Structure 1
Amino acid sequence: MASVSAPKSLQGSLEYVKAPQRDNIGDNSQVIELVTTVLKDVRERGDAAVRDYSQKFDGVSLDQFEVSPADRQHAVDQLDKQTRADTEFAIENVRRFATAQLGTILPLEVEPLPGLHLGHTVIPIQRVGAYVPGGRFPLLSAPIMTIVPGKVAGCDEVVACLPPNAHKAMVAGCHLSGADRIFLIGGAQAIAAMAYGTDSVPAVDKIMGPGNAFVNEAKRQVFGPVGIDQLAGPSEIFVVADSTGNPELIATDLLAQAEHDVRTRVGLITTDKALAEATLKEVERQLRDLATAEIAGESWKNYGEIVLCADDAAMIAYSDHVAAEHLQVHTADAHGFAKKLRNYGSLFVGENASVVYSDKNVGTNHTLPTMGAGKYTGGLWVGSYVKIATYQWLESDAIRAVAPAAMRQSDSEGLEGHRKAAAIRLERLNAVA
C-alpha cells in the first residue's frame, strides 16, 4: 500500500495499532478507461453524449441542462428561513476571507537597473467552471467554496455544474453564491462539457472543485487545454496527538469525515499507546449509534489507521509524509507543535478547531489537496482564480545595459536571430546618439 506505507527511515519508529486495509490511490486505477471513453464521447458528440451519460449514470433525462432564472429563484424560495440564513452566513464569511486574501495579491513594478522596468499584474481568469458535487448528502457549503472566490476575484463568468439529481437546495446555494450560469450535469461528463464546450455549455478556462474518483480522473485527463485547481479526491482527516488528546473528541472528528464517502481516509498519529487504544475502542463504540455508520464504518474499516510513533520527531515526520487534507493538532502545546508541521491541506490547531467548522462556514476554503498533494500545494483560494502575469519595458539606459550581454549570450548559443533582435535596438539607439 504505497500511499500509506511509511518511508524506510521511519519504519522502525512506527507501529500500526490499526492498519488500513486498502489503498485509495491504487483503487482509482479502475476508473481511467471509463473516464477516457466519456471524455472522448462528449468531445465528439457534445450535448447528445452528455444526455446519454446523464441517463446512464444519474437516471435522469433532461431536454435542457441549464437552470432557468425562474427555477433558480424557485429553488431559493423553497429554502426554509433558517437554512437560507445559515447559507448566507457562510457565504459572507467565505467572501470576507477571500476578499482579505485578494488584498495580499498586489500588482508590482520595480526598476532594478536604470530604465529597466519589470512588473506583474493580477488578472482575473475570464471564465471558470465550478464543479459542485451532489454526493450522498446535500453539501450546502460546496457551491459556496467554489463560486464565491471566483466572484471575489473578478472572473467575468462563473459556470456551475452539479448532478441533475442533486438536492434543490444545492441549486439555491449556487444561485446565492453568485453563479452566472447553472447546469444540471454531473460526473465526468460535466468536466468534459466544461473543458471542451457543447452547444449548451460554454468552454471554460479553468475548472475548480472536488468530486468523486471519476470527476478527479476527468480533471486529470483534461488538464492542459484547460486549467484545474488540483486533484481533490475523497476526503481525508488525520489527527496528531500526544497523551493530552481526548479519544472521544478524536473519534468524533474522524467519523465526521468518514461519513463523507466510503473511500474517505482517516487516521490518528500519536505517541501515546493508551490514547491509540482508547481511540480505537471509541470509534467502534460511536459507530454503533451513528446514523451514517454504513458509510463511515466501511471507510474506517478499509482506509482508517492509527499509528503509534516512537517520539514527536517520528510523529511529525509521518504526518508530513501523509500530507493529510485536514490535519488536526491535539497536543499540549498545539500552536508550538503546529509550527513544526509543513505538509497538509489545512491545519486545525487545538481541539476546539474541528474540521466541521471549516467544512461549513468559518471562511477558509474546504476544497483541499488530497492523496499527498499537500506536499507541494495548498488548497483552493481566491488566488486560484487570478493569473499573475509579468511585463517589462525598457528605456535607453536599460538597452545599453542589457543588450550587449544578451547579444553575447545569444552568440554563444548559436541563436543568430536572438542576437540580431538585441543588436538592432542597440544600433538604432547608438545611431540617434
Structure 2
Amino acid sequence: MTVDPQRMLKRPSSQAEAPIGDSEVAQTVAQVIADVRADGDEAVRRYSAAFDSWQPDSFRLGAAQIEAVVASVPTTVLDDIRFVQKQVGDFARAQRESLRDVEVETFPGVFLGHKNIPVSAAGAYIPGGRYPLTASAHMTVVTAKVAGVDRVAATTPPNQGAIPPVSVAAMHLAGAEEVYVLGGVQAVAALALGTETIDPVHILAGPGNAYVAEAKRQLFGEVGIDLFAGPTEVLIIADDSADPFVVAVDLLSQAEHGPDSPAVLVTTSERVGRETVEWIDRLLVDMPTRNIAAQAWRDHGAVHLVDTLDQAYTLGDQYASEHVQILTEQPREALEKMRDYGALFLGENTCVSFGDKVIGTNHVLPTQGAARYTGGLWVGKYLRTVTYQEIRDRSSSAFFGELCGRMSRLENFEGHARSGDVRAAEFDSAGIPWLTVPDAS
C-alpha cells in the first residue's frame, strides 16, 4: 500500500533522510583492514592504542585472568547470566534438532543426501562502549556452541582502558575457547584475517557500530558473516485496545539504542496514536537516555494512522522492520498475515526488550529492509548444508551416463559428455567410440 502522508500523526524530520553508507567510514575501515593484513599484530596493537588507549601484553586473556575476572562479578549477576544463557541454549538446541540430515533413493540404486556440518571456527563480536551489550555473548557464543562449532573466539572492547568484567564473564560462561579484550575494526580484521597470535575464523557474528558493520561488509567473502546490521529498529502495530503508555515506553526502549534508531507506530486508533505521542513527550523529560532517545524519536520516529489491521500488516511488511511488536486484541493474527520482519513480539505481555536481553530468541536480527530476504542469527548460521551422491547400481549409472552425454553435448561440453559416456559403457573401454588407445610399440 502507499503511505498517505496526510494520515501521519507524527513524521520523521528531514534529517532522517540521510544517505545509506558513509565513504569516510568505508575509507577508514579499508585502511585498517589493509594494515592488519600487511602488519598483523603490530597493526592491531597500533590501532588499539590509538582508538581505545589499550595495549596490554596480550589481547587474549589467560585462564588465570578469566578466573579472576569472573570471581570479581557478583554471584547474583553470574546466576542471571547462566539463567539467560540457558534460555538461549535451550531454544538453539530446539532449532538444531529441527534440522535433519537427509538421504533418499531417488532412482534405483541412486542415493542423494545432505548433512548439516558446523563451521570449525567462529568469531563473536561483543560490543562495548556506551552500551556494553553483554547479551550478545549469549546470542553469538552459546548459539555457536550448540551448533557444534569447535572453536569460538570471542572479543569485546576495553571499557575506558580496563577489562569489562561482566562481558568477559558472559563470554567465558557461554563457552568461548578464546576470550579477547580487543575492539573495533582491528578486532574484526584480526579474527577474519589472522595474525601472528590470532588464528583466523571462518565466520564472524555479532552486532557493532558503523565501523564494525562496515568491516564485516568489506571482509565478507574472505570470511562468512551472520548478516549486515544497521541501527536498531522497532515497529509497533496497535489497535484501540492498546495502552498508549505501554506503546510509548516500548517505542522509547528501542529509540535509546542510538540517535539513528527508527521507532514507528502503525495504529487503527487515532486516540492511541495521539496519546502515545503525548506520553513520549512526557516520558522523555526525565529519561536517563533522553539525549539519544529524543533525537531518534525526532529524526526517525513516525506514527501512521490506518483504517484496518490488514492495512497495518501490509504497511508493516513494507517497513520490514527488525522488531515488530503486536499490541492488538488478537495478536497471533499477525503470525498468519505478516511475512517481512526480523522478529515478532505478540501481545502486551511480550516486549522487544525481552528478546534483546532475556527470553531466549536471538537478538542479532536484520535491519534496513534485509528482513525481506533473511532472518536473524540462529543455530543454522553456523552450519553448512552439504550434499553427497552415490550410485550403487551399474545399470542406473549407465542410464545417467547416456543422459549426461546427451545433455552435455547440447551445451558443447564434450568433456562432461565423455565422463558420462564412460559410465554408459559400463566401464568397458571397447564400448567407447571416441577412445583411441596408443600403439604400445
Common fold by TM > 0.5? yes
**Other structure's SS at 1:276 match:** helix
Task: Evaluate the alpha carbon distance shift between residue 13 and residue 391 of structure 1 in structure 2; reply closer, same or farther with a 3 A threshold.
Answer: farther
Structure 1: distance between partners of 2:291 and 2:68:
34
Does residue 234 in structure 1 map to residue 227 in structure 2?
A: no
Q: CA deviation at 1:397?
A: 3.3
Query: 5 Å matches for 1:331-370?
Result: 331-370=328-367
**Other structure's SS at 1:235 match:** coil
Q: CA deviation at 1:300?
A: 1.5
Please, which of 90, 106, 114 is the counterpart of residue 112 of structure 1? 106
Amino acid at match of 1:397: S
Aligned to 1:260: 257
Please, which of 3, 11, 21 is the counterpart of residue 3 of structure 2? 11
Amino acid at match of 2:320: A
Structure 1: distance between partners of 2:395 and 2:287:
73
Structure 1: distance between partners of 2:333 and 2:428:
61
When normalised by structure 1's length, the TM-score is 0.94
Does residue 76 in structure 1 map to residue 70 in structure 2?
A: yes
Q: CA deviation at 1:407?
A: 0.6
Say if 1:14 and 1:307, in contact at 8 Å, map to a contact too: no
Aligned to 2:399: 401
Aligned to 1:5: none
Aligned to 2:174: 177
Aligned to 1:188: 185
Aligned to 2:91: 97
Does residue 271 in structure 1 map to residue 264 in structure 2?
A: no
Q: CA deviation at 1:27?
A: 5.2
Could you give the per-residue CA deviations for residues 343-377 of structure 1, whole angstroms, max 9, x where no partner exists? 11110011111011111121111111111111111
After TM superposition, the structure 1 stretch with the greater mean CA deviation from structure 2, 86-95 or 161-170, is 161-170
Task: Evaluate the alpha carbon distance shift between residue 35 and residue 24 of structure 1 in structure 2; reply closer, same or farther with a 3 A threshold.
Answer: farther
**Other structure's SS at 2:231 match:** coil
Please, which of 379, 383, 386 is the counterpart of residue 380 of structure 2? 383
Task: Evaluate the alpha carbon distance shift between residue 397 and residue 284 of structure 1 in structure 2; reply closer, same or farther with a 3 A threshold.
Answer: farther
Q: CA deviation at 1:59?
A: 2.3
Q: CA deviation at 1:302?
A: 1.9
Does residue 44 in structure 1 map to residue 38 in structure 2?
A: yes
Does residue 149 in structure 1 map to residue 143 in structure 2?
A: yes
Task: Evaluate the alpha carbon distance shift between residue 266 and residue 404 of structure 1 in structure 2; reply closer, same or farther with a 3 A threshold.
Answer: same
Aligned to 1:423: 421
Please, which of 291, 296, 304 is the counterpart of residue 299 of structure 1? 296
Say if 1:28 and 1:213, in contact at 8 Å, map to a contact too: no
Q: CA deviation at 1:13?
A: 7.7
Say if 2:154 and 2:178, in contact at 8 Å, map to a contact too: yes
Aligned to 1:3: none
**Other structure's SS at 1:11 match:** coil
Q: CA deviation at 1:257?
A: 1.3
When normalised by structure 2's length, the TM-score is 0.92
Q: Which runs of 5+ in 1 are unaligned?
A: 1-8
Structure 2: distance between partners of 1:297 and 1:125:
42
Say if 2:60 and 2:180, in contact at 8 Å, map to a contact too: yes
Amino acid at match of 1:17: L
Q: CA deviation at 1:299?
A: 1.7
Say if 1:14 and 1:308, in contact at 8 Å, map to a contact too: no
Say if 2:401 and 2:422, in contact at 8 Å, map to a contact too: no
**Other structure's SS at 1:369 match:** coil
Say if 2:207 and 2:229, in contact at 8 Å, map to a contact too: yes
Structure 1: distance between partners of 2:157 and 2:17:
23
Structure 2: distance between partners of 1:293 and 1:143:
27
Structure 2: distance between partners of 1:35 and 1:348:
35
Q: Which runs of 5+ in 2 are unaligned?
A: 432-441
Amino acid at match of 2:223: V
Amino acid at match of 2:235: F
Structure 2: distance between partners of 1:24 and 1:174:
37
Structure 1: distance between partners of 2:391 and 2:156:
48
Residues paired across the two proteins, number = 425
Q: CA deviation at 1:429?
A: 4.2
Could you give the per-residue CA deviations for residues 231-253 of structure 1, whole angstroms, max 9, x where no partner exists? 12221111011111211111111
Amino acid at match of 2:57: D
Aligned to 1:28: 21
Structure 2: distance between partners of 1:430 and 1:243:
78
Structure 2: distance between partners of 1:31 and 1:130:
22
**Other structure's SS at 1:111 match:** strand
Structure 2: distance between partners of 1:20 and 1:12:
14
Structure 2: distance between partners of 1:397 and 1:387:
32
Q: CA deviation at 1:431?
A: 7.0
Please, which of 187, 190, 194 is the counterpart of residue 197 of structure 1? 194
Amino acid at match of 1:82: T
Could you give the per-residue CA deviations for residues 87-112 of structure 1, whole angstroms, max 9, x where no partner exists? 00001111111111100111100011
Amino acid at match of 2:359: V
Task: Evaluate the alpha carbon distance shift between residue 411 and residue 179 of structure 1 in structure 2; reply closer, same or farther with a 3 A threshold.
Answer: same
Q: CA deviation at 1:289?
A: 1.8
Structure 1: distance between partners of 2:45 and 2:241:
54
Say if 2:37 and 2:193, in contact at 8 Å, map to a contact too: yes
Q: Which has the larger radius of gyration?
A: 2
**Other structure's SS at 1:28 match:** coil
Please, which of 412, 415, 418 is the counterpart of residue 414 of structure 1? 412
Structure 2: distance between partners of 1:89 and 1:432:
70
